[in-house]
Amino acid sequence: MSLWKRYLIPAFLAYWIIPAAICMAGVQTGKTVPDFSLKDTKGKVYNLSSVKDRSMVVLYFFDAASRPSQEFLLTVDSLARKYREAGLTVWGVTASPKGAVNAFTQKANPGFPILLDTAGVSNSYGAKLILPTTCIVGPKAKLLDYFQGGGKTTNTLLVRLAERTLQQNQPALADAISDHVIKNNPKDSSARLVKGYASLKSGRVAEAEKAFTSLAKEGGRGEILGKEGLAGVYARKGQTDKALKTAEEVEKKAPARSYVHVIKGDILYSKNNKALAEAEYQKAVLKKESETFQAAGAYNKLGRLYASAGKYDKSRRLYDQATEIDPYYVEAMTNKGLTYEKEGSWDKALDTYRQGQSVSRDDVFASSLARRAEGMLAYRDDAKQKERIDKLVKELSERFRSQKKLFAKADEDTWTSRPMVMTFIDFQETGALSDRDGFSTVVTTQLADQLGASGRVKVVDRVLIDQLLQELNLGTSELADPETALKLGKVLAAKIMGTGTLIHMPNGTMMSMRLIDTETSQIPKVINLQFPEGASLKKELGSLNREILASIMQSYPLKAYVVNADDKQVMINLGSNQGVVSGTTFEIVEEKAPVEYKGKLLKSAPEVIAKVEVVKVEPDLSYCRIVEQKRALKRDDKAVEKIDEAALKG
């Protein structure tokens, strides 16, 4: 066979005919990839359709007998083992002989399945003549990226994978992949850029500044990318003048770049120059030169601006463009859902939230808003529940307007604790234009769910609150009035009301929350907390929930009477309805006579005569074991909850 036939014709075909074959085979970016079913070396069947709900699947077609062909798979396998929480899904597919595949798997022991291609799958993916061939498959099984070849292509592929993981809000993995590429090629500007933005997304601003400064010193494309990143860093640090100056330098040298206009728009919006901010966001969406993980942001910000002005159709079109560019942009998905909420289209809102959940299972916004939409739809579909809530809303709204009290004063028993009822009123949001709408709703919904699940607090149903606010036509601005908010809390028969302010800043969101006693108007707790950029909102809200619960328990310990007692067991007149759970400890106390001194009666602290621990709980009664006692207990002895300070801090 001649040299031409043996080597040059295949090479010619690889470079000139393969792209057409790929399109004919149906493998084309933006299109759904062909389904297949293959077995691994142990005979286990893998169907691509079974992972269609995964937000990303990497299909790697390779030669099991070729070390260069294995390079990407081995690299990603090592990183995936270290960052298991990222849930990276990779399938190796090979048409190599089974013996070669067995030798590879025994030596490498990959954590990913290696599938034997006995059905011509490689052909349908255009992966027959050139190996390795890599397909990055995104949501709804659509092809996002397609790469052929190893060597330098492997680094290009790894950088793109890092960009995709950054889009998925996995900055730690993106950082690790970038580091691997930089180790192989310290001058790879794309990898260094991704590393800088991964650091910035994680809140490691100093590391990001270092990475971008290094890039900016290189001149050419590196200088543009570096200064663009530095403009973002300065904005994050609150150095707005420096950020604007750097952004303008980039705009002059690279007028087609988009991201600097987003930075300028954000700064102008935070200064309440909304018209100028809109102009910058408009420029950003018109200019098409940006990084993969940046492109959708401009459309989202402009959509947020229109949504805040009630232009929901306009904002939804922009959110759709954002998700078309970036299929992982969950921010735009939940923002779009909120526009449907505001129009009362809860079914459409839920569909959009579920779309967000499909691309980001751990997204607190998508999951929280989806649960809220499900609750509203359940209310609408349940005729009896709807009738009950609507009747209550009418009664409550009349009481709010007439300022009548919902309940008469408590009965003669002023010692026994009543159920601790709490409600949240949406916080007022100010400051910068955050990427995400509905921050207040998500915070209050999450806290209500967590506090309600504790058993210690009963939280007013969010559906009831939403319907009442709608009936009263009260918006966030009206609820910012303390008197109005307090009045609403009283009408809802809530002992404690949580309200406050959220201030969005470049480096995160500052929250100031007040817990207000609706009966006394006192404020037993003020909580100031910052949600840092890049921090886990779920984790931060978990800590906040514990702090609120601890404050309530410390300020309002449960109080009960002994109903019956013997040598082994004590019954008290509180149960699950009042927030008692198994393990709760009570002190049985005996009040001392006051001491008279200089014509005054001085009250002494009560004496603790016993300690008991709850072992069984019923709705309005609890049974306790005696831990220690100084005298025999009797009916009508008083009991006070003993707070475990160490447990609360934990």
521-563 per-position pLDDT tens digit: 899 999 999 988 777 888 899 999 999 999 999 999 999 999 9
Mean pLDDT (whole number) for 477-492: 83
Q: In this model, does residue 4 exceed pLDDT 80?
A: no
Q: In this model, does residue 405 exceed pLDDT 60?
A: no
Confidence of residue 462 (pLDDT cuts 50, 70, 90): confident
Mean pLDDT (whole number) for 359-387: 92
Confidence of residue 10 (pLDDT cuts 50, 70, 90): very low
Burial code (b: 16+ CB inside 10 Å, e: under 16) for 255-279 equals eebbbbbbbbbbbbbbeeeeeebbe
Residue 132, preceding bond cis, omega within 30 degrees? yes
How is the chain split into domains, by residue range? Answer: 15-150, 395-555, 559-649
H or E stretch at 63: none
Mean pLDDT (whole number) for 403-429: 78
Confidence of residue 334 (pLDDT cuts 50, 70, 90): very high
For the chain, the distance separating the N- and C-terminal CA atoms, rounded to the nearest angstrom, is 76
Residue 240 and residue 246: Cα distance in Å, rounded? 10
Q: In this model, does residue 308 exceed pLDDT 90?
A: yes
pLDDT, position 3? 40
pLDDT tens digit sequence for 194-231? 999 999 999 899 999 999 999 999 889 999 999 999 99
Q: In this model, does residue 584 exceed pLDDT 50?
A: yes
pLDDT, position 399? 86
pLDDT tens digit sequence for 40-79? 988 999 999 988 778 899 999 999 999 889 889 889 988 8
Confidence of residue 5 (pLDDT cuts 50, 70, 90): very low
User: With contact defined as beta carbons under 8 Å apart, do 531 and 435 qualify?
Assistant: no
Tell me which residue has tokens 């929350």: 513
Most confident of 66-70, 114-118, 597-601: 114-118
Mean residue pLDDT across the chain: 89
pTM of the model: 0.87
Mean pLDDT (whole number) for 460-469: 89
Q: In this model, does residue 406 exceed pLDDT 60?
A: no
- The CA R_g of the chain, rounded to the nearest whole Å, is 31
Confidence of residue 409 (pLDDT cuts 50, 70, 90): low
pLDDT tens digit sequence for 178-200? 999 999 899 999 999 999 999 99
Q: In this model, does residue 483 exceed pLDDT 70?
A: yes
Q: What superfamily does domain 395-555 belong to in CATH?
A: TolB, N-terminal domain (3.40.50.10070)
pLDDT, position 535? 74
Q: In this model, does residue 648 exceed pLDDT 90?
A: no
In CATH terms, 15-150 corresponds, of 3.40.50.2000, 3.40.30.10, 3.90.15.10, 3.40.50.720, to: 3.40.30.10
Q: In this model, does residue 647 exceed pLDDT 90?
A: no
Q: How many CB atoms lie within 10 A of CB 433?
A: 20
Residues 6+ apart with CB under 8 A from 104: 64, 65, 70, 96, 114
Q: In this model, does residue 493 exceed pLDDT 80?
A: yes
pLDDT top residue among 274 and 405: 274
Q: In this model, does residue 624 exceed pLDDT 90?
A: yes
Most confident of 3-7, 195-199, 359-363: 195-199
Residue 451 and residue 423: Cα distance in Å, rounded? 10
pLDDT, position 25? 53
| 559-649, CATH topology level | Thrombin, subunit H (2.40.10)
Read off the amino acid at residue 232. Answer: G
Q: In this model, does residue 23 exceed pLDDT 90?
A: no
Mean pLDDT (whole number) for 234-256: 96
- In this chain, the answer to whether the domains covering 15-150 and 559-649 adopt an identical fold is no
